[in-house]
Amino acid sequence: ITVTQAATRKMTDRVLGSGVVAPVERVLVQPLIEGQPIEELLAEVGDQVKAGDVLARLSDSTLRLQESQLMAQRASADAAIAQADAQLLEARSAADEAQRVATRTRTLRAQGSSSQAALDTAESNAVSAAARVTVAEQLLEAAKAQHELVEAQIADIRLQLARTEVIAPVSGEDVQRHAMVGAIATAADDPMIALIRDST
Please write the tens of the pLDDT for every residue from 101-115: 999 998 888 888 888
Between CA 170 and CA 194 the distance in angstroms is: 11
Residue type, position 54, single letter? V
Mean pLDDT on 66-72: 95
| Res 114: pLDDT | 81
Between CA 53 and CA 171 the distance in angstroms is: 9
The pLDDT tens digits for 154-185 are 999 999 999 999 999 999 999 988 888 988 88
pLDDT at 21 over 90: no
* DSSP H helical ranges for the chain: 61-111, 116-162
The pLDDT tens digits for 114-132 are 888 888 899 999 999 999 9
DSSP annotation of 51 reads T
- CA distances to 84, 109, 137 from 134, rounded to whole Å, are 12, 29, 5
pLDDT at 4 over 90: no
Mean pLDDT on 8-34: 89
| Res 136: pLDDT | 94
Instruction: Please report which confidence band the pLDDT of residue 199 belongs to, taking 50, 70 and 90 as the band edges.
Output: confident
